[in-house]
Structure 1
Amino acid sequence: MSQLPTLVIFCKRPLAGQGKQRIAATLGKLPALEIATALLDCALEDAEAWPGKLVLSPASAADQQWAAGLLQRDCRVVPQCEGNLGKKLNYIDQLLRLEGDTSLLFIGTDAPEHSRSHYQELIGLFTETDMLFSPAADGGVTAMGCNQPWPELSGLPWSTPQLGTDLVAACQSEGFQVAFSSACYDVDTAADLARLQVSIKHDARPARQQLLQRIESLLD
């Protein structure tokens, strides 16, 4: 790898009643919207700090203009296609490789515990392997990187505890070397918010502190 990987952030426009449904079921639709917005701000904070190239990938082409106004820094906006997450990943991966990107790191907007040191760990793995993953506690992943095109991903069991295992198997079946960073967490439930009260308490990044304040106002 001769240059830093391109960071690709899959994002959804926060809207009431859409996304974070398990949080909404516990705390209500408006609190879930507030959390989704604060989580997006954390991912955008990471985007502003990313030392390499950046792509924002909104869930819908209708949100391309919205995504284009989210950041102060230069970035490309490449909307996702229809289909499940695997199909979207294959689609964006193929498009960006046609534009000349060779090393790609994909994240979503639900892992605010990604620290600066965690990102540096991920960057370092790009020099050692074909594919890399940050395992999530629920069996999924919070980040996934590739120096080679992803294998076919649309048939994998997305949003299930089996995903991480099957994702690795799909890569290894194509002969790709796989490596792992330290594990992390994503945010799906009110219990995850309670964990964040502890884990990001001393994280000085402004968006993390704003997320912490929002969580404390909802849970305390």
Structure 2
Amino acid sequence: MLKPALAIMSRAPSKEGKSRLGAVLSPAQREALQWAFLEDTLDKVSRLTEFERYLAVTPSGDLNKLAKKLEFGGRVMPQSGGNLGQRMHDIAERLFLTGHAPVILIGTDVPALPPSYLQKALYLLEQSDLVFGPALDGGYCLIGMRYFEGRVFDGISWGSEKVLEETLKICEENKLSYGLLECLMDIDRPGDLLALMRQYENKKIDIELIPARTIRFLKSIEIRNLLYEEH
């Protein structure tokens, strides 16, 4: 049996990404922010020796570009096509078939994600079939599985505020036990950027968890002024 697997699900940074931030950020700024999110996330997970780490990328044609730019000590793998649920289903199934167990999937929209959050998820999987890290927008920023369970990706309203609610309903209907971590804020909208800066300025983020590249970028574009201009 191999180590537990941790897969970081990411789109290759591009000017088309993070479109919900288009009201305050230019295409080039959105791409720069995506790079900051990705690199800050990889920096956090690099400290976790209990996992075999994977970076799962879409579009798959950008694998070489990412591998060259990032100093990532894990493996890079392509995501399949389809919606988010289909892509997570595929990555989780492939990692279990490789021999990993448990398997945990995260995204890159929580750049201040504590490494201890992932360690707690691993602990909860000793007692539960699944574990979820709820997000404030009604989705989840982490899903972990003790064994492969593809049903939790079926029939979900991806991108809506009902993602976690619908997923937990599937768990309950199929008598799958699950654990819940603390709720975190993922960053999708302009107000989320300001909330992150406020957490940083008010010292609400532990110094070792500060997403340095993301904060540096937000300072460089004077995000507070941009948000005031929007209103």
State if a TM-score over 0.5 links the two structures.
yes
AA matched with 2:199: S
Indicate the SS of the match to 1:143: strand
TM-fit CA distance, 1:173: 2.5
TM alignment of 1:15-94, pairs within 5 A: 15-16=14-15, 18-51=16-49, 52-69=51-68, 70-73=70-73, 75-94=74-93
Question: Residue 85 of structure 1 contacts residue 154 of structure 1 at CA under 8 Å; is this kept in 2?
Answer: no
**Counterpart Cα distance in 2 of 1:19 and 1:154:** 25
Q: For residue 192 of structure 1, what is the aligned residue in structure 2?
A: 192
Q: Distance in 2 between matches of 1:13 and 1:120?
A: 26
1:179 counterpart residue number:
179
Alignment of 1:1-220 (within 5 A): 5-16=4-15, 18-51=16-49, 52-69=51-68, 70-73=70-73, 75-152=74-151, 153-201=153-201, 202=203, 203-205=206-208, 208-218=211-221, 219-220=223-224
Q: Deviations over 1:67-106 (max 9, x none)?
A: 4332342x22221111001111111111111110121110
Deviation >4 Å, runs of 4+: none
Q: Which amino acid aligns with 2:43?
A: E
Equivalenced residue count is 217
Match for 1:7: what amino acid?
Answer: L
For structure 1, the 5+ residue unaligned runs are: none
Alpha-carbon offset, residue 61 of structure 1: 2.1
- CA gap 1:199/1:155 in 2 versus in 1, 3 angstroms: same
Comparing 192-201 and 206-215, the one that deviates more: 206-215
Looking at structure 2, the residues matched to 207 and 127 of structure 1 have their Cα atoms a distance apart, in angstroms, of 29
* RMSD between superposed Cα atoms in Å: 2.0
- Kept after mapping to 2: 8 A contact 1:48/1:71: no
Compute the TM-score of the two structures, normalised by the length of structure 1.
0.90
Residues 8 and 105, structure 2, Cα contact 8 Å, conserved in 1: yes
In the TM superposition, residue 3 of structure 1 has moved relative to its aligned partner by 7.6
Change (3 A) 1:205 1:176: same
Identity of aligned residues (%): 25
Relative to structure 2, which stretch is displaced further, 150-159 or 63-72?
Answer: 63-72
Q: Distance in 1 between matches of 2:89 and 2:172?
A: 17
* Deviations 1:111-157 (CA, angstroms, capped at 9, x unpaired): 11311332332222121211000111110001111112123314211
Shift of 1:169: 1.6
